[in-house]
Amino acid sequence: MRRFFIHLSASLLIASALATAEQRQPNIVLILADDLGYGSLGCYGNQELKTPHIDQLAAGGMKFTDFHSNGAMCTPTRASLLTGRYQQRCVWVPDEELSPIFRKQRQENPIQRWAWGLSTEEVTLPALLQEAGYHTALIGKWHLGYDRKFHPMNYGFDTFRGFIGGNVDYHTHIAGYGTKELDWWQDREIRDEQGYSTDLLTKYACDFIGQNKTKPFFLFLAHGAPHQPWQGREPNRKQSPVENYREMITALDESVGTVMQTLRKHQLETKTLVLFCSDNGPQAPRDFAANGPLKGNKSSLWEGGHRVPMIAHWPGMIAAATSSGEVAMTMDFLPTFTKLAGAKIPEGHTIDGTDLMPILKQEGDINSRSIHWKHGEAWAVRQGPWKLIGQGRKTIALVHVVDDPSETTNHIEQKRDLIPSMRRLHEKWEDEVGER
Ligand SMILES: [Ca+2]
């Protein structure tokens, strides 16, 4: 009998140690939509489109109403996501250093060929999680360098399915610009296959979850949808751009539903933090209300360029049906995920983002910091409810983006006293990240 109890308590100890380990290292699923606007989902007020699966995710988790992409375009945001730093602080390697083959391709087809890559010296989220024992996958879009030396598996991803460039044809998987070659990868090999890319990526994401159900994993599902070209599931069906666009968002919504169903099937829902967000504001057909009340679209530093949907879901850890007005940014993912994983950021290495778990658990706030954007000559700084927007040396607008998210009232005259300190804050930031 005594032996039985000893055995039992030892088992309990092991079980509780395992439970703690599981809790310490939750799975992380990050689903990134491409060019999805703030107003393009049912749960963010879209009237014409049904997105039941994403809405369900929002109803069971925390829906952010003041979340921002670091950039107003794809590549900058992705760099900040992977590094936890302002993309302006990251090291970028120019094309002069690219391989001779790539340089030759570029000479032959210079139009729109992207000429930079994120340095492999950067400390990246997948590499940190990999070191902490996670199995890591990028399923979807990369867009941080075309050359093979910028291949995602050189940055800490154990596996890669998807495309390197900014977009592909959803049916043929031919690169949208650049070489016009097939851009569809299985790890380090280019391989063609049949299928609609959103659905293929969903399948690979679910396969990866199934293969890794007993160990911690990081799944970065970086959908191409609803980035151009606007193509529905049937390659030969005649539809308007808006009809295609709606179908792309439906496929994206179904992808979220299928991923969640797969997590439930493997009983991983309570062991997995799921985040859904977009990399920048919309580029959408003119007749589609992509941005709700916001002004501006992709590439703009009005709210429409960078305020994006963000939903965090984790039953048991994040209370259901809550909504957060906290100001957060893409670069916050790295510190959040690495802390959850128990991963170690090298000593002395600068991270700009902030751990979001206190917000997700409703135990703290981070609104005292200022956050910054720069897009060409355009710049913006957010401090509390105020956002100052400028172009070069010129100050263009001061807006109260909490009361007036549509940015209809410019307070540049009435609130003149706020401007010098905000400008100084932004200049200090520019000096710090090396943007001036
Ligand atoms: Ca994008």
Give the model confidence (pLDDT) of 250-289 as tens digits: 999 999 999 999 999 999 999 999 999 999 999 999 989 9
Per-residue pLDDT, 22? 43
Cα atoms found within 13 Å of the Cα of residue 401, Cβ hemisphere only: 27
CATH of the domain at 433: 3.30.1120.10
- Binned at pLDDT 50, 70 and 90, residue 125 comes out as very high
Task: Give the C-alpha distances (Å, rounded to integers) separating 118 from 95, 315, 318, 339.
Answer: 11, 35, 33, 24
For residue 175, give the 3-state DSSP assignment: strand
Task: Express each pLDDT in 10-22 by its tens digit.
Answer: 554 444 444 444 4
The number of folded domains in the chain is 2
Task: Express each pLDDT in 379-420 by its tens digit.
Answer: 999 999 999 999 999 999 999 999 999 999 999 999 999 999
Task: Tell me, yes or no, whether 266 lies in a domain.
Answer: yes
Task: Tell me, yes or no, whether 11 lies in a domain.
Answer: no
**Which of the listed residues 326, 352, 367 is the one where a domain comes to its end?**
367
Q: Write down the pTM of the prediction.
A: 0.92
Per-residue pLDDT, 79? 97
Per-residue pLDDT, 147? 82
CATH of the domain at 112: 3.40.720.10
Answer yes or no: do 354 and 398 share one domain. Answer: no
CB atoms within 10 A of CB 15: 10
User: 167 CA to middle of ligand 1, Å?
Assistant: 9
Answer yes or no: do 304 and 409 share one domain. Answer: no
Answer yes or no: do 112 and 206 share one domain. Answer: yes
User: 222 CA to middle of ligand 1, Å?
Assistant: 10
pLDDT above 60 (res 107): yes
Structure tokens, 259: 């991923």
Answer yes or no: do 68 and 37 share one domain. Answer: yes
Cα–Cα dist 86/105, whole Å: 31
Task: Express each pLDDT in 359-373 by its tens digit.
Answer: 999 988 887 899 999
Assign residue 392 a region (left: φ > 0; alpha: ψ between -120 and 50; beta: otherwise).
left
**Least confidently predicted of 9-18, 159-168, 294-303:** 9-18
Angle between helices 333-341 and 74-83 (to 10 degrees): 30
Answer yes or no: do 363 and 376 share one domain. Answer: no
For residue 385, give the 3-state DSSP assignment: coil
User: 250 CA to middle of ligand 1, Å?
Assistant: 18
Answer yes or no: do 306 and 382 share one domain. Answer: no
User: 279 CA to middle of ligand 1, Å?
Assistant: 5
Task: Tell me, yes or no, whether 277 lies in a domain.
Answer: yes
Residue of 53, 68, 135, 143 marked catalytic: 143
> What percent of the chain clears pLDDT 70, i.e. is strictly above it?
89
Answer yes or no: do 219 and 163 share one domain. Answer: yes
Asked whether 135 and 218 are in contact (CB, 8 A), the reply is: yes
Task: Tell me, yes or no, whether 374 lies in a domain.
Answer: yes
Per-residue pLDDT, 249? 98
Give the H or E element holding residue 217.
Answer: strand 217-222
Assign residue 114 a region (left: φ > 0; alpha: ψ between -120 and 50; beta: otherwise).
beta
Is 43 among the residues known to form the active site? no
pLDDT above 70 (res 98): no
Cα–Cα dist 36/186, whole Å: 26
Answer yes or no: do 319 and 332 share one domain. Answer: yes
Q: Are strands 185-186 and 159-163 parallel, antiparallel or unpaired?
A: antiparallel
User: 312 CA to middle of ligand 1, Å?
Assistant: 20
Per-residue pLDDT, 179? 64
Average pLDDT of the residues of the chain: 91
Per-residue pLDDT, 19? 46
- Binned at pLDDT 50, 70 and 90, residue 226 comes out as very high
Answer yes or no: do 251 and 223 share one domain. Answer: yes
**Least confidently predicted of 45-59, 171-185, 220-234, 253-267:** 171-185
Answer yes or no: do 238 and 319 share one domain. Answer: yes
Task: Tell me, yes or no, whether 4 lies in a domain.
Answer: no
Task: Tell me, yes or no, whether 10 lies in a domain.
Answer: no
Which residues crowd ion ligand 1, with CB under 5 Å?
34-35, 74, 279-280
Per-residue pLDDT, 26? 98
Residue of 74, 90, 206, 277 marked catalytic: 74
CB atoms within 10 A of CB 325: 11
Provide the sign of the torsion angle of the four alpha carbons 208, 77, 298, 407, taken in this order. positive
Per-residue pLDDT, 114? 57
Amino acid identity for residue 190 in this structure: I
User: 73 CA to middle of ligand 1, Å?
Assistant: 5
User: 114 CA to middle of ligand 1, Å?
Assistant: 15
pLDDT above 50 (res 74): yes
Cα–Cα dist 158/409, whole Å: 49
- Domain of residue 432: give its range: 368-436
User: 31 CA to middle of ligand 1, Å?
Assistant: 13
**Which of the listed residues 334, 350, 367 is the one where a domain comes to its end?**
367
Task: Tell me, yes or no, whether 111 lies in a domain.
Answer: yes
- Binned at pLDDT 50, 70 and 90, residue 178 comes out as low
**Which of the listed residues 349, 367, 385 is the one where a domain comes to its end?**
367
- Binned at pLDDT 50, 70 and 90, residue 127 comes out as very high
- Binned at pLDDT 50, 70 and 90, residue 56 comes out as very high
pLDDT above 50 (res 6): no
Task: Tell me, yes or no, whether 18 lies in a domain.
Answer: no
Is 74 among the residues known to form the active site? yes
Amino acid identity for residue 273 in this structure: L
Angle between helices 197-211 and 241-265 (to 10 degrees): 10
Task: Express each pLDDT in 182-212 by its tens digit.
Answer: 999 999 999 999 999 999 999 999 999 999 9
Answer yes or no: do 198 and 288 share one domain. Answer: yes
For residue 113, give the 3-state DSSP assignment: coil
Answer yes or no: do 124 and 43 share one domain. Answer: yes
